[in-house]
Chain A
Amino acid sequence: MGPSRIREDTRQLRAARPTVTGNGVVSAAAYGKPSRVRAARWRDAGLGYALSLPALLWILTITLYPIVYNLWLSVHETGPLLQAPTFAGLRHYSAILKEAEFWKSLERTVIWTVGSLSATLLPGLGLALLLNQDFPGARLIRTWILLPWMFPIVVVAMIWVWLLEPTVGVANYALRIAGLTSQPVVFLSVDWAMVTVILTNAWRWIPFVAVNVLAALMNVPRELEDAAKVDGAGYWQRFRFVALPEILPAIGVLSLVLLMWFFNMFPLIWLITRGGPADATTILPVAIYKTGFELFLWGPSAALGVILFLFVAAMTGVYLTIIARYRIGAGGQW
């Protein structure tokens, strides 16, 4: 049985699914005449708008105003409290773009984001596949696995800071007892701090990814798996041609969300290293905070914020385009 046969069988089975899709969209045929369909759609749409209006207004109030204010700050020379602001034009932007520190921070931000994403997604996927098997205690593990994600981020940071402390930390003690090291390992040194914070971040997020992917895996129709089995597909083939296409939308959405979260993430690095040592973990969000609230340079800090926003928007755009192309290439299927 070749991959093309498995793919064809799977496509036919998918095509035979009911008209009401998983995301609740009902096909037009279910309504009957076109005029009724239009009226029903308008009715639904009106109700939808009415129901989402309060939330929409709230979101606009708490996001639009800060965004506009931040834009205003970024083109003004101002500081804390009552200093009279003066118009600065694009001076802050040009100064930032000329600074080597900014480009280094951007480079670190990309390393942090890509590193965290890779260190989270792949083990998360592996863990989900493992938890999708039936074995004694699987249910218990599925519940408890979320524990690291449920801890407040401050607790996670403190736990790791103390575990990794070179002189009195448990990690170094264990390494020494095991005979693996004779000198203390400085996990948060200039060379290793970024790797350490990425792995700490991954420790927190892997369960979140695993549970989400597991939910998607559990929704893979049994008949697809069975059909592939009947066709003689092995575990890897079933995963590649049956499960993966089904869970890809979930992975896609997850990675997009994580990409944006990680690119913007501030608290974990701040709590563990405060951007140090020697700026080794100063990613853009940390640089924004330091500029704004340690140096009180609000204009440059706001300009950095706008630049970060543009990067995230651009990345999201590129990512969505890739996903859309993939969907078109797969004939509308993920």
Chain B
Amino acid sequence: MKLDERAIKLGPTRREFLKAAATSAVGLGLLRLGWGSGAHGAPVGPRDLVLWHWETPPHRVTAYDRLLERFRQETGIVIRQVPIAFPEYHTKILTAAPARTLPDLIFVNPPQFMLLLSNDLAVPLDDMFAELHGKVRFFSPYRDYEFQGKQWGVPLFGVSWPLTYRRDLHLAAGFVGAPATWGDLLSRAEKMHGPDLPGFTLPISTKGNYGNQVVWGFLRTNGARIVVGAPGKEKVVFNSRETIETYKFLVELARFTGPGAETADWASTELLVRTGRVQTLIYTGSPIGDIADKNPDLARRYAQAPVPRPSREHKHANTGYARAAMITRDAQRRGTVAAAKEWLRWITQPENNAEFLLANPGLFMPVNHEVVKAKIWLGHPFNREYKPIVHALTEAMKHISVQGFEDGARSPKAAAIEGSFMTARVLQRIVLEKEPVEQAVAWGHREYEKILGS
């Protein structure tokens, strides 16, 4: 008998076949019971996921790695993080989407959320969100990720841009507490302005988003808006009395800004805060969190408060983002949605979420009521020592406003609206190019119309 004929004859016997089938069944059963199900008992499918975010500083990446490793140990699900620099984030999404190489999980601000949603690249998270909301009660900005009656993103952390000021210098100038109104701010800036330290560090810059974010905070305290109306049918309302009033105030404030305001960006301004070369400005708590260890004497001199309003009757408002995680259509195609949801449930648990926020103390703020009570959050040295600052930043998370999302608007062009840095560009035209306020605002209005009409 030839070897190949014998091999055919020696194929599995009936008994061997039954044995193999039984082993497979037991194996599959074990898989279903143990490794194949998440902590909530649902099958999680493929267990190797990718997460995109833009938190590129090494200490944040390291902190995320630590958390993701703990998640892997607890659930067996591997999540690999891909930090992408923020300026490239949109471009990466735009190029990955047609190539179907979007990650399973992606961190977004509202503008990126609309970018994904308007191109049908996201998976709705209604059921899971209702369950999570019941447990942790998200702050109201979670609604920024609501669209057409569905919830598409789970807010995980927030960043807000309140007023930051040197309490010691304000006290030395005879001012107690933070300036509360535009009038207060202006009179303090005028009195405190000097050759070494500007009265108010106002960016008149389109180098990055910083100038745009500062101007937007002031515009919102006066109730100014860019768009109104249903998604896709929005109308530009930028050219308004509120907008013009705000720019007139900012022109006054610009008299007391420092050298280099024309090209100020996040990095250059952060350096000024870290070296104590500011008296009053709009900034996050990040630099204070960073110098709390290295230069506690300086860190303790800073305080934060709400962005001054036109009057005490006006509502509080500031630039800020409740940053959410979304699950992509590509995850659905790859069968990783269940595993991705598993992670969202895990990271929303107060203690885990607190650890996540502490990847950068002073910068990442809570977006729900439960994490504020978490032991890890309350017990962290920075949060204990700088309680008023953390409180101010957390409160600011309740008054955040995003361009293209004001007062319930949901512009599909939000990414382009914010990305145009138009509010800062208008300020540049007024301050640097000496254009009349009304004319510059009308120009900005037309530019927004161009963006929406494209």
Binding site for B on A (CB under 8 A): 77, 79-83, 161, 165-168, 183-184, 186, 188-190, 193, 273-278, 293-297
Contact = CB atoms under 8 A, between A and B. Distances in A.
Contacts of A183: 195, 259
Interface string B204-245: 111110000000000000000000000000000000000000
Contact of A276 (B205, B258, B454): B205
B454 A168 contact: no
A167 B419 CA distance: 28
Nearest to A161: B268
7 contacts: A81-B94, A161-B268, A190-B262, A273-B207, A273-B263, A278-B428, A295-B419
B79 to A, nearest CB: 25
Contacts of A184: 259-260
Given A82-B98, A82-B120, A296-B419, A166 B259 contact: yes
A82 B116 CA distance: 11
Q: Which of A168, A188, A277 has the most CB of B within 10 A?
A: A277
B146 to A, nearest CB: 22
Contacts of A274: 206-208
A294 B416 contact: yes
B428 A277 contact: yes
A292 to B, nearest CB: 9
A168 B275 contact: yes
B111 to A, nearest CB: 11
B291 interface: no
A277 B206 contact: yes
Contact of A81 (B119, B260, B419): B119
A277 B432 contact: yes
A294 B418 CA distance: 8
Contact of A297 (B272, B432, B454): B454
Given A186-B259, A276-B207, A168 B419 contact: no
A94 to B, nearest CB: 15
Nearest to B418: A294
A188 B275 CA distance: 21
Nearest to B208: A274
Given A277-B204, A295-B416, A168 B277 contact: yes
Contacts of B432: 190, 277-278
Interface in B67-98: 90-91, 94, 97-98
Nearest to A296: B416
B94 A80 contact: yes
B193 to A, nearest CB: 14
A294 B419 contact: yes
A275 B259 CA distance: 18
Nearest to A275: B206
Given A184-B259, A276-B263, A277-B262, A167 B454 contact: no
B429 A278 contact: yes
B260 A276 contact: no
B90 A168 contact: no
Q: Which of A161, A186, A276 has the most CB of B within 10 A?
A: A276
Contact of A189 (B262, B433, B451): B262
Given A276-B207, A278-B429, A293-B91, A82 B260 contact: no
Given A81-B97, A167-B277, A276 B206 contact: yes
A167 B258 contact: yes
A277 B258 contact: no
A193 B206 CA distance: 14
Q: Which of B91, B272, B428, B454 has the most CB of A within 10 A?
A: B454
A183 B196 CA distance: 9
A312 to B, nearest CB: 24
A166 B90 CA distance: 31
A165 B262 contact: no
A83 B262 CA distance: 36
Contacts of B277: 167-168
B10 to A, nearest CB: 52
A81 B259 contact: no
Contacts of A296: 413, 415-416, 419, 454
B451 A295 contact: yes
A75 B429 CA distance: 31
B271 interface: yes
Nearest to B413: A296
A276 B451 contact: no
Q: Which of B259, B260, B416, B432 has the most CB of A within 10 A?
A: B260
Contacts of B271: 165, 168
A147 to B, nearest CB: 25
A295 B454 contact: yes
B272 A276 contact: no
B157 interface: no
Nearest to B204: A277
A273 B420 CA distance: 15
B371 interface: no
B340 interface: no
Nearest to B429: A278
B113 interface: no
A278 B205 CA distance: 8
B182 interface: no
Contacts of A293: 90-91, 419
Q: Which of B206, B208, B415 has the most CB of A within 10 A?
A: B206
Given A276-B262, A297-B454, A165 B268 contact: yes
Contacts of B204: 277
Contact of A294 (B195, B420, B429): B420
B206 A167 contact: no
Interface in B419-454: 419-421, 428-429, 432-433, 450-451, 454
A331 B97 CA distance: 59
Contacts of B205: 276-277
A273 B429 CA distance: 16
B98 to A, nearest CB: 7
B115 interface: yes
A278 B454 contact: no
A79 B451 CA distance: 11
Contacts of B263: 188, 193, 273, 276-277
B209 to A, nearest CB: 10
Contacts of B416: 294-296
Contacts of B120: 82
Interface string B106-129: 000000000100011100000000
Contacts of A77: 454
Contacts of A186: 259-260, 262
A166 B451 CA distance: 34
A293 B454 CA distance: 14
Contact of A168 (B272, B421, B428, B451): B272
